Amino acid sequence: MASMIHRLQRIVQEVNRAPDIDAALVLITESLTRDLTTDACTIFLAREDDPEVMLLQACNGLNPDIVGRVERRLGEGLIGTIAARAEALNLVDAPGHKKFLLVPDSGEVDYPIFLGVPIIAHRDVLGVIAVQRAENAFNEDEEAYLTTLAAQLATSIERAESQGRFSTPQKTHMVKGVAGAPGMAIGQAIVLNRGVNLESVPDKKTDDIEAELTSFREAVRKVCDELVGQAEKMRDSLPEEECALFLAYAQMLSGGSLIDDTEKGINQGNWAPSSWRDTVEQHAHVFSQMEDRYLAERANDIRDLGLRVLRKLMLEQSPLLDFPERTILVGDDVTATDLADVPADCLSGIISAHGSSASHVAILAHALGIPAVMGVPNLPVKQLDGVPLVLDGYNGSAFINPNQKLLDEYSQYLAEEEAIEQDLLELKGKPAITTDRRPIKLMVNSGLMSDYTPSLRSGAEGVGLYRTEIPFQIRDRFPSEEEQFLIYRSVLETFEGMPVVLRTLDVGGDKPLSYFPIHEANPFLGWRGVRITLDHPEIFITQVRAMIRANQGINNLEILLPMISGKAELVDSLFLINRVRDEIQEESGERVWLPKIGAMIEVPSAVYQIEDICSMVDFVSIGTNDLTQYLLAVDRNNENVAELFSSLHPAVLKAMQQIVTGAARSKTPVSVCGELAGDPLGVMALLGMGIDTLSMSVGSLLRAKKVIMSFSYAELTELLQQALTLSDSFMIRELYASKLDERGLGGLIRAGK
Ligand code: PEP
Ligand code: MG
């Protein structure tokens, strides 16, 4: 068993490192012929222009001339049958099967024993892998092995295919992810290179070969010095042969092919990091192919060394100062803090291989009015630096190397979007009121000082959610009470006369603090939000002190507690908040008002305890992002399940209705501050529930107002009843979208359509 896992891992790793799809397929056929002791191995992949046709892309053990010449439609021959049924076929007499179609001149007549399995990624059949031999039927273990391998390789093949297609010069290539933040952008890709691993180093060309050579040599010299120093230091505590390893590493860097090959790559015009990456990969590959286990393991040593030099190199590289005017930030996993690296006036869009619309980077992008496409599994990140891109944050797609037709089409959309924005500007001073005169309070979600002016200008009636974690995340230690005081004072002052809801620290989950690392298997089900701050009352108390002190003389503060899952957390939080108030009152000798205190309803257990919770607080605010994540058991950051993440799911709507009904018994005000509150379709659903306070990214505010002013409360109530009879989010979305379209407002969710 162990050896099977070992073999599987080795093939997958090799395929992931293969320079292109053809090399990857050859590797698979060779490895399989060897590992399963078969006589022949073939791989068919669905054609790009017609996915119903499987084309032979690689073979081993048969006549190589047939590659690229044999095609099977779905249902045709054994290969087409496997693809059509998405099921394996294990035969002892392939020619005897009614679907068998001989490939003439292939040599396969000699190998009647046949096993074929489909390659499936994200429900799509990408192709078929088949192995054949002259004698000995394939047993269950072998079938299980091939099935496991095909499942593991599917994503690698998908990615390699995508990269291969993309690398055809200037060819337009579409990639699909999920809608992260609305809007569209035409711009130039800039790949984030944090240099944490070799795989993520992007390809780049350089004009300054000398500078690249110097920084490479400098990095190598520093690593060499470190290694020699480490060997010295360890001499007393490590056996001699372990110390020798450090010296052997240093030796490898003092000349020879690792250095020569990299310099050759640089001299060909590549920047040092990608040239070094390629050299390291080639050398590691040679070792990993060796049958001797000890030598094969040396591949890891080379990569370890590769990483050390890479880190130094990345430090040497000066940070990019000249961002193109329309930068589209690209990365495997773009994070909220990455946005800070790009000057705000250059940032036009974001595209990330991981994440979803509920990832915090997407929420931040939304707040900044920047379109984002998230969760693009086959994004060819490494090859994108400097490449033209078109981003569609409404439907979650992007075009690499867009052709003129697409550029024209999207320029037109952008112009229409601009026109919609201009129209919306007229709504700024107008009240958000339904056609049957029900007033709706619109507030903004904030957390960045840069939000304040646009928020005030957009006519917001206060801050419905201030995420205090952002000032915590951009520092390298907890901010002091005084630092926090200044931040909170500035937002309370800016919105004087209007409520400002400051939420206590909600770190954990996907919002890490570099200086307070938490390692958990399930961070979203772990130590997060109020759970952390109650376990660390010193952090909570400092924060609440800063908030209450900042509120002195302004009196517009409301405090919101995140991740409340039951009464006990509220009891403890209220106790501490009251104590802080008493302390400040005593210290200052002035009367200190207790601010209104609210609970976020975002954990399912809170939905079922809504009446108890309401009896203890002044208001509740529904966090639809986490409520959706926890109710549907869909990780808000996981692109594999991003399609399932929908706050318009009937279960989420029903839970929200239950919150509204429960809170109404004690007349506790309910607001919504998750992303649904800023989605035009979400606004329709929430109003229909009777919710009259919505807090959203400032960029969504006027769109939401337009929706509110176009419908009556009565018709939205009726529409909600209709929506609740539907069985899935897709149908609910369609229902609301068609009503929006009928009113001529389709452009609010998709410019130009
Ligand atoms: C939510 O969960 O809906 C919410 C508003 O909070 P956050 O997105 O910061 O978790
Ligand atoms: Mg939340």
Question: Ligand 1: residues whose CB is within 6 Å?
Answer: 363, 465, 467, 506, 602, 623-626, 673-674
- 673: annotated active-site residue: yes
Whole-structure pTM value: 0.78
Q: Which atom of ligand 1 is nearest to the CA of 360?
A: 8
Residue 644: CB atoms within 10 A of its CB come to 15
Which residue is associated with the tokens 């961070």?
523
Tokens found for residue 705: 């107002």
Beta strands in 154-296, from DSSP E residues, in sequence order? 173-176, 178-181, 184-191
Of 480 and 323, which is predicted with more confidence? 480
Query: Residue with the nearest Cα to atom 4 of ligand 1?
Result: 623
Nearest atom within ligand 1 for CA of residue 602: 2
Give distance in angstroms: CA of 546 to centre of ligand 2: 22
Give the pLDDT band of residue 9 (cuts 50, 70, 90): confident
Residue-wise pLDDT for 92-115, tens only, equals 999 999 999 998 888 888 899 999
Nearest Cα residue to atom 8 of ligand 1:
625
User: What is the spatial distance between Cα 745 and Cα 739, in angstroms, rounded to a whole number?
Assistant: 9
- Closest ligand 1 atom, residue 622 Cα: 3
Which two structure tokens, joined as six digits, stand for 585? Answer: 């009152």
The 10s digit of each residue's pLDDT in 611-662 is 999 999 999 999 999 999 999 999 988 888 888 999 999 999 999 999 999 9
Q: Ligand 1, residue 467: give the atom nearest the CA.
A: 9
In the set 173, 283, 354, 360, the catalytic residue is 360
Distance 414 CA to ligand 1 centre (A): 29
From CA 629, how far away is CA 164, in angstroms rounded?
Answer: 35
Element (H, E) at 45: strand 40-46
For ligand 1, the distance from its centroid to the CA atom of residue 708, given in whole angstroms, is: 23
Per-residue DSSP letters for 468-481? THHHHHTSSSPPPH
Active site residue 97: no
Residue 457 has pLDDT above 50, yes or no: yes
Q: Taking a C-beta distance cutoff of 8 angstroms, is the pair 390, 652 a contact? A: no
Alpha carbon of 147 to ligand 2 centroid (Å): 39
Long-range contacts of 728-736 (CB under 8 A, 24+ apart): 728/649, 728/650, 729/646, 729/648, 729/649, 729/650, 730/646, 732/648, 732/649, 732/650, 732/653, 732/685, 733/646, 733/648, 733/681, 736/648, 736/681, 736/684, 736/685
Tens-digit pLDDT profile for residues 458-476: 889 999 999 998 788 777 7
Q: Cβ distance 184 to 293 under 8 Å?
A: no
Helix, strand, or coil (residue 186) = strand
pLDDT tens figures, 313-324:
877 665 555 789
Q: How confident is the model at residue 22 (pLDDT cuts 50, 70, 90)?
A: confident
Kindly report the protein residue whose alpha carbon is nearest to atom 1 of ligand 1. Answer: 623
Name the DSSP class of 348: E
